[in-house]
Amino acid sequence: MLSTEALKPPQPEYALGSILVVEDEDTIRETIGLALQEEGYDILLAEDGYSALSIAHRAIPIDLIILDIMLPYINGLDFCRMLRHEGNSVPVLMLSAKGSESDRIVGLEVGADDYLTKPFGMGELVARCRALMRRRRFDLQVQGNVLKFGDISMYPQECRVMVRGEEISLSPKEFRILELFMEHPRRVWSREQLLEKIWGTDFVGDSKTVDVHIRWLREKLESDPSDPKYLLTVRGFGYRLG
């Protein structure tokens, strides 16, 4: 049997995207995972709501979630509500044996982007995944001129950042750190991941340089740097935005 969490480790740079498949039936979960892996996607697998939520909260970028409704611990509807409440806009394709109009409406109203009734053909599922991924890429391009989180507005193409209506000055490293956080809000980044993303794999030095840059960013972003509301420390893991 394939591992519960991942068919293969996601690569830092992937061609088509990363998909999390959340399904408690082993055969269905692994069949979907293998079919999508053959299409060129990086695949993560979860068999219950708790495991899926844990994966979603990591720093691994996820571009699409395939989500069964009937799950142990946290059902698919509640899982989707939690994602949207956290501000996570990743597309969700919901799976269910219930195919009535009212069931589909409930799924869409809690935040799903598409709804597929079991049993389904694997070709249709793959086609729906492609459509959702195309829409996500288009949405990211449309929103690419400005990134917003709370009172922070970033204009990547202009290298400008506004906080509470006033422009602030950032160093190139500070700008790139903030841009990474704003592209992936509420995802936790370890010091090692930030060093690799911002400083590069050839960086030689102390990982505490990340802490220093986070402190400088807090001084520029936060109303009270000693009690940050944006750049938060996740003890034992790293940092996240919001």
pLDDT category at 7 given cuts 50, 70, 90 is low
pLDDT category at 1 given cuts 50, 70, 90 is very low
pLDDT category at 242 given cuts 50, 70, 90 is confident
Q: What is the CATH number of domain 146-241?
A: 1.10.10.10
Domain ranges within the chain, ordered by starting residue: 18-143, 146-241
Residue with tokens 């740079």: 13
Q: Taking residues 118-141, what's their average pLDDT? A: 84
Alpha carbon distances (Å) from 195 to 26, 60, 154, 191, 206: 37, 15, 21, 6, 10
More confident site: 150 or 59: 150
Residue 157 has pLDDT above 90, yes or no: no
Indicate the fold that domain 18-143 takes in CATH: Rossmann fold (3.40.50)
Dump pLDDT digits (tens) for 176-215: 999 989 888 778 888 888 888 888 877 777 778 999 999 9
Asked if 197 and 203 touch (Cβ cutoff 8 Å), the reply is no
- Let me know if the fold of 18-143 is the same as that of 146-241: no
DSSP assignments along 110-146, one per residue = TT-SEEEESS--HHHHHHHHHHHHHHHHHHHHHGGG-
pLDDT category at 174 given cuts 50, 70, 90 is very high
Give pLDDT, residue 15: 42
pLDDT category at 3 given cuts 50, 70, 90 is very low
